Amino acid sequence: MMLTAALLCFVALWFAMLGTATVLFARRHEPRAAPVPQPLPRVSILLAARNEEVAIERCLASIRELAYPAPLLEVLLGDDASTDNTVAIAQAVMQDYAGSFRVVSIQTNKGQARGKANVLAHLARAATSDVFCITDADIAVPRTWVSGLLGRVQGSVGIVTGITVVQGPRLFDQLQRLDWLLSLSLVQVVSDWGKPVTAMGNNMLVTRQAYEATGGYEALPFSVTEDYALFRAVLGRGFTFRNVFSPEVLAESLPIGTLGQLLHQRRRWLRGVEALPWGLQAALLVYSGIYPAMLGLAFTSGPLAALAVLGAKMVAQGVLTALCFYRVGLRPPLRLLPLFELYTVGLTLGLVGFRVLPLRFTWKGRQYA
């Protein structure tokens, strides 16, 4: 009886957390972007690429369509030792671009920077503007991306993060899409409290002033979550941040192809989670503990009790899903919620294995411990 009572208390706490997050998200209003300063500032778009021949054309095509004067845009592509046709395709796509486009070949390491952080360190030093917009080669940005991020740079704001969703036709792609946006809605709620959670390195603006105050990527300890490392360093220098949950900064990412590749991606992300303040880590632990609690209830009170909690969980999570998808002008995939439970359990078990066992994970062809 005591175990059942404890499990029910935990379940109640979980629903209280999700309910509070849902109410706060429903009540929030995204502050309007301030008018972009006049004259319009020059902006450097920093793009790291390593063997991205499949994705690079889509990414650069979206950059060409930006509703920002092309002559004021400087697009810097850092080629990180690609062995495919990434550079040739990029040069062909940008051949008659009205703005500035340059490929920077990455041959050496700057300071402590490695991997993507090293590419961005080189690009930031090569950039000639005071504003850096950073994205990835597998991302397509919206036309309003630059102005949407720029409009949030006010006062002491040194770093601005947009939102990203996965785009793809497969069921596995759609589950990733649901996963991303649902997670980002929770990140937004915590950020609205003024609690720094993370920055998305595929959809981010950082001012030169804030970046250089940190010493740049070459001065930061190496991290496979280089965006979070820069985010923390910028805040540590006294700058503030903005997370923007709005269609004008909604970027679309190509999906991860397989469950194995997804596990490698999420293991890399866990490095950033492990660096969060203990209070946020505790909240994440509670949030992820709902499945063990349901399993415990199945043993102590029977499967019907666990199924009742699961049904209530899907309903509660469905409300937040509908809110966050509608907020960015997308149709909520509510029919996927039952499958999303299986997806979440499988992903969680796989990540536990990655964390407990001394496994190395691979990202962009490089291995990390």
pLDDT at residue 362 in the model:
56
Q: Is residue 347 part of a domain?
A: yes
**Same domain flag for 7 and 67:** no
Last residue of a domain, one of 254, 269, 284: 269
Q: How confident is the model at residue 360 (pLDDT cuts 50, 70, 90)?
A: low
Mean pLDDT in residue range 155-173 = 94
The total of structural domains in the chain comes to 2
**Same domain flag for 213 and 154:** yes
What values do phi and psi take at 166, rounded to 5? -85, 140
Instruction: Work out the mean pLDDT of the chain and round it to a whole number.
Output: 89
**Same domain flag for 290 and 302:** yes
- What is the reported pTM? 0.89
**Same domain flag for 79 and 101:** yes
Residue 236 has pLDDT above 70, yes or no: yes
Residue 10 has pLDDT above 60, yes or no: yes
Side chain identity at 280, as an amino acid letter?
L
**Same domain flag for 261 and 281:** no
**Same domain flag for 188 and 332:** no
Residue 264 has pLDDT above 80, yes or no: no
**Same domain flag for 118 and 148:** yes
Written as six digits, the tokens of 270 are 């866990």
CATH number of the domain encompassing residue 247: 3.90.550.10
pLDDT at residue 171 in the model:
96
**Same domain flag for 8 and 95:** no
Q: How far apart are CA 243 and CA 197, in angstroms?
A: 10
Q: Is residue 55 part of a domain?
A: yes
Q: How confident is the model at residue 363 (pLDDT cuts 50, 70, 90)?
A: low
**Same domain flag for 246 and 139:** yes
Helix extents (H) in the chain: 2-27, 56-64, 86-93, 115-126, 145-150, 171-192, 208-213, 226-236, 259-273, 278-288, 290-300, 303-327, 337-356
Q: Is residue 299 part of a domain?
A: yes
Q: How far apart are CA 196 and CA 201, in angstroms?
A: 15
**Same domain flag for 108 and 254:** yes
Q: How far apart are CA 342 and CA 340, in angstroms?
A: 5
Residue 252 has pLDDT above 80, yes or no: yes
Q: Is residue 34 part of a domain?
A: no
Residue 235 has pLDDT above 80, yes or no: yes
**Same domain flag for 83 and 223:** yes
C-alpha 346: how far from its chain's center? 21
Which of 53-67, 118-132, 168-182, 259-273 bottoms out in mean pLDDT, i.e. has the lowest? Answer: 259-273
Q: Is residue 256 part of a domain?
A: yes
Per residue in 171-202, pLDDT (tens digit) is 999 999 999 999 999 889 988 888 888 788 89
**Same domain flag for 220 and 243:** yes
Q: How confident is the model at residue 359 (pLDDT cuts 50, 70, 90)?
A: low
Last residue of a domain, one of 239, 269, 299: 269
Interacting residues of 225 by C-beta distance below 8 A, sequence separation 6+: 268, 269, 271, 272, 275
Last residue of a domain, one of 269, 300, 315: 269
- Domain span including residue 305: 2-28+272-363
